[in-house]
Structure 1
Amino acid sequence: MPTTRDSEDIRREYEQKLGQEFGGLFWHLWNDWANARLAYKEFDELFGEAHSARPLAAMAPLFTGDILRTLARSLILDISRLTDPPGSGQRRNITIHAIPTHIAGHVLLLREVKGLIDVADDKATFARTMRDKQLAHRDLLEAEYPRGVNASEILTKADEAISAIHGVLAAVGHALLDSDMMDDIVYEPRARALTVRIETLIELARFVDSRIQPKDTRASSYIEAFNKLFNVPPGEGMAAARIAAHLWREAGRLDSV
């Protein structure tokens, strides 16, 4: 029966094959890369071509905008950190730039990795620029003339950057770990799980709304028709009225979702 190795087993393998220091670094790099790919896939699910955040945006546009900006910033930081300099003062960073010192004895691999790092740096330039202008500092020009968040542009550039970073790690993995590392991850969808539930609730609300026949457009008439439809007992009138009143307020939005 096949088993799935846990993360610590993989770390021990890396340390055994690469040495404790480099093995530990490579394990952290691989996990950070996987987190960046996960952030990309979640962002893409919500705001890419599938745009599964559309129902949420119709019901709560300002909050959906907050989610968009938060996920974009997280993705930008993930990419920037993976391409940071090897050290900050006395502290060492978890970055692909820390790899070359550990493979100095592998001349051909070192040359290949340095070239791949140059490619990754180029692809990650957009993220580092955005981090410096909007997150790490407050650029006056950006503050005066904000561009907002272009989800399509970020997704395209982030995908290229994450794949380029993967190229660095995959080269090391192939040469020193005898492992072909896929540029993808298997994970339990989180954003989609939320949006599916929202879509289900919206369909339920549409179904109920389509069967309510109020006398006029007033909220009181809508609540009365709601109670009649569901034969609401007198003791549950207040709870039913709250549900009906909320549905009455949102009914106009349901058609736009």
Structure 2
Amino acid sequence: MESSADQIKQNNIALMGSDLGTIYSELWQEVGRMFSNWQEYVSLFGTNPERIELLNNAAGHFFRTVQDGLWERTLLHLSRITDPAQQGKKKNLSIHSLVEAITDIALKSKVTASIARATEKCAFARDWRNRFIAHADFDLALDQSAQPLAPASRLQVREALEAIEEVLNTISTALQDATTRFSEMALLNSGEDLIYLLEFATRKKEEREKRFESGQYTEEDLADLRPRSI
């Protein structure tokens, strides 16, 4: 029987204490969303060239918009979750928020080191967030000898996500004797389902075109050519 998010949170609070359990639970949910967004990106745009060709042939402009949106959302997530715990009078929910909530000195030291590694792995995403996604750097936009954006690749994103996962697992290993493999979580109604439907539709379209070329088309083939309102 699956537990609800609230039940998981209450269990975390029971094992970790109120402050740490609450922060950990919210970050766990956030990291889960990060990984699912990235899984969708990789599934659609990072699997093989044939899949890219399928998407381009189906609706190239639309899927390029989706690709850019998922990419920027992932970099924004990486930046946000490694922001300082507090900026001025404003508190942020980030992995840095965990440190003050940990009372065990040895665990605090391990988590602090893990957070430092994750923050370093996400530095490239922060440059993109600060100068391109959340703000439009003037010199960069006008190409006035601006410093280029930090190199960013799928490998860097994967390593950054794994480093963030390690932060949470450092805590859960110590206090729950458990870890989470976020990349192995199953997605329902995902991009993989869309790929299947597009492949099916493409095959049907090719079969229909062959029937038209041979003059053996059907009334249903003709009906498929008429615009429909949904």
TM, length-normalised to structure 2: 0.86
Structure 1 counterpart of 2:204: 204
What is the CA distance between 1:32 and its match in structure 2?
A: 0.6
Structure 2 counterpart of 1:135: 133
Structure 1: how far apart are the matches of 2:212 and 2:195?
A: 26
Structure 1 counterpart of 2:4: 6
CA contact (8 A) 2:41 2:71 kept: yes
The residue type paired with residue 218 of structure 2 is F
What is the CA distance between 1:231 and its match in structure 2?
A: 4.6
Q: Cα RMSD (Å) of the superposition? A: 2.5
Structure 1 counterpart of 2:117: 119
What is the CA distance between 1:163 and its match in structure 2?
A: 0.4
1:99-248 map, 5 Å: 99-103=98-102, 105-145=103-143, 153-184=152-183, 185-188=185-188, 190-213=190-213, 225=215, 229-231=217-219, 239=223, 242=226
1:10-29 map, 5 Å: 10-29=8-27
What is the CA distance between 1:47 and its match in structure 2?
A: 1.1
CA contact (8 A) 1:170 1:180 kept: yes
Structure 2: how far apart are the matches of 1:231 and 1:71?
A: 41
What is the CA distance between 1:108 and its match in structure 2?
A: 1.4
The residue type paired with residue 122 of structure 2 is A
Structure 1: how far apart are the matches of 2:62 and 2:176?
A: 45
**Which sits farther off after the overlay, 49-58 or 165-174?**
49-58
CA contact (8 A) 2:79 2:125 kept: yes
CA contact (8 A) 2:58 2:198 kept: no
What is the CA distance between 1:128 and its match in structure 2?
A: 0.7
For the pair 1:69 / 2:53, whether they are aligned, the reply is no
Structure 2: how far apart are the matches of 1:203 and 1:170?
A: 44
Structure 2: how far apart are the matches of 1:158 and 1:99?
A: 22
Distance 1:123 1:189, change over 3 A: farther
Distance 1:56 1:8, change over 3 A: same
CA contact (8 A) 1:53 1:64 kept: no
CA contact (8 A) 1:15 1:21 kept: yes
Structure 2: how far apart are the matches of 1:231 and 1:125?
A: 59
Structure 2: how far apart are the matches of 1:39 and 1:161?
A: 14
Distance 1:189 1:154, change over 3 A: farther
CA contact (8 A) 1:15 1:23 kept: yes
What is the CA distance between 1:138 and its match in structure 2?
A: 0.4
1:31-46 map, 5 Å: 31-46=29-44
What is the CA distance between 1:114 and its match in structure 2?
A: 1.2
What is the CA distance between 1:80 and its match in structure 2?
A: 1.0
Structure 2: how far apart are the matches of 1:142 and 1:90?
A: 30
Structure 2: how far apart are the matches of 1:158 and 1:189?
A: 23
Deviation per residue, 1:31-88 (Å, 9 max, x gap): 1111111111111111113353431212322222111111111111111111011023
The residue type paired with residue 131 of structure 2 is K
Distance 1:183 1:195, change over 3 A: closer
Q: Which runs of 4+ in 1 moved over 6 A?
A: none
Q: Percent identity?
A: 23
